[in-house]
Amino acid sequence: MSSSIYSYVVLFFFISIVPNIQSQPIAPAPTTESSPMINLTAILESGHQFTTFIRLLNTTQVGFQVSVQLNSSDQGMTIFAPTDNAFNNLKPGTLNGLTYQQQIQLMLYHIIPKYYSLSDLLLASNPIRTQATGHEGGVYGLNFTGQAQNNQVNVSTGVVETRINNALRQQFPLAVYVVDKVLLPEELFGTKTTPTGAPSPKSTPSSTSDADSPAVDDDEHKSSGSSAKMTSLGVILGFALFCYLI
Ligand SMILES: *[C@@H]1O[C@H](CO)[C@@H](O)[C@H](O)[C@H]1NC(C)=O
Ligand SMILES: *[C@@H]1O[C@H](CO)[C@@H](O)[C@H](O)[C@H]1NC(C)=O
Ligand SMILES: *[C@@H]1O[C@H](CO)[C@@H](O)[C@H](O)[C@H]1NC(C)=O
Ligand SMILES: *[C@@H]1O[C@H](CO)[C@@H](O)[C@H](O)[C@H]1NC(C)=O
Ligand SMILES: *[C@@H]1O[C@H](CO)[C@@H](O)[C@H](O)[C@H]1NC(C)=O
């Protein structure tokens, strides 16, 4: 009598408790928990001098891509925000001379798919790849030089070089640095290529985030899959013990 109560108790233990214990290290800490939605537009608006950049992020839909990627990537992100002055100082027709796809490339070039503090930028080896890197085999890299101790960091594209000024935000997962020049990539503005020379390519602007998102999804499937396995293992173990005790 008492032994059968005991086995029921043990069965209950294995079915209800064990799967929970097993799955606990897997179930919590989803990537979303650590990153409450960051509103890039709001951060830029607080700087009061980024209307052109905000508009371009919107028209190219790169801004939307950024928010999706910030939500799903654990690498974080670094963004260089040119001021309105920087855009005004471009040669007339520079932006309009670009195809829509090239405008997307230009925006992606201002984004590094990894969080860097100012001093980390100097420690990484040049050139640092950007969100535009790899498009049509282009490097689309940024070079950083300067001294960490007095926070003087320059960014160079090969076409333009400028000081990185203050940070609108420098806190994982997002750093936003102010630059006084639009970062013109060599691939679009170098002497070798002309902005209008290349035919409009067809690849999507979100190729990098597309590559990232499925990876995250895979992880989620894997973890839910393994916790399901743990649950059935607990049930099987419990049932085996139940049979054994009876
Ligand atoms: C982000 O902030 C802007 C400006 O403050 C606001 O218009 C927009 O609705 C916000 N977006 C989200 C998704 O909260
Ligand atoms: C962003 O673009 C959409 C159209 O794609 C437009 O409806 C919306 O008003 C724009 N938002 C801002 C803040 O410019
Ligand atoms: C953020 O990601 C989670 C899942 O990873 C999703 O449920 C949520 O809708 C995402 N939020 C946005 C605004 O994309
Ligand atoms: C960036 O740095 C790399 C490595 O030092 C160098 O090979 C390359 O020429 C540099 N590019 C520019 C545009 O300064
Ligand atoms: C940084 O760039 C500025 C031009 O914006 C230049 O005058 C300065 O010499 C550069 N500093 C370094 C350390 O390269």
Looking at the chain, the whole-number percentage of residues with pLDDT higher than 70 is: 63
Close Cβ partners of 242 (under 8 Å, ≥ 6 residues apart): 7, 8, 10, 11, 14
What is the band of 210 on the pLDDT scale with cuts at 50, 70, 90?
very low
Q: Of 102, 34, 45, 47, give the one whose Cα is nearest residue 74.
A: 34
Whether residue 139 is contained in a domain is answered as yes
71 Cα to the center of ligand 5, angstroms: 35
Whether residue 117 is contained in a domain is answered as yes
| Ligand 1 binding residues, C-beta < 6 A | 39, 41-42, 45
- What is the pTM (predicted TM-score) of this model? 0.70
Which of the listed residues 161, 182, 183 should we mutate to test ligand 5's pocket, taking the one with most ligand atoms within 8 A of CB? Answer: 161
Phi, psi of 169 (to 5 degrees): -160, 135
Whether residue 30 is contained in a domain is answered as no
More confident residue, 224 or 163: 163
| pLDDT, tens digit (0-9, with 9 covering 90-100), for 191-201 | 765 444 444 44
Residue 167: CATH number of its domain: 2.30.180.10
**Domain interval for residue 130:** 40-189
Does the C-beta of 162 come closer than 6 Å to ligand 5? yes
Whether residue 16 is contained in a domain is answered as no
Distance separating alpha carbons of residues 130 and 77, to the nearest angstrom: 10
Q: Of 236, 224, 243, 244, give the one whose Cα is nearest residue 15.
A: 236
Q: What is the pLDDT of residue 197?
A: 43
Q: What is the pLDDT of residue 89?
A: 97
Distance separating alpha carbons of residues 89 and 83, to the nearest angstrom: 10
Whether residue 133 is contained in a domain is answered as yes
- Give mean pLDDT, residues 62-69: 95
- The count of structural domains within the chain is 1
| Ligand closest to the CA atom of residue 52 | 2
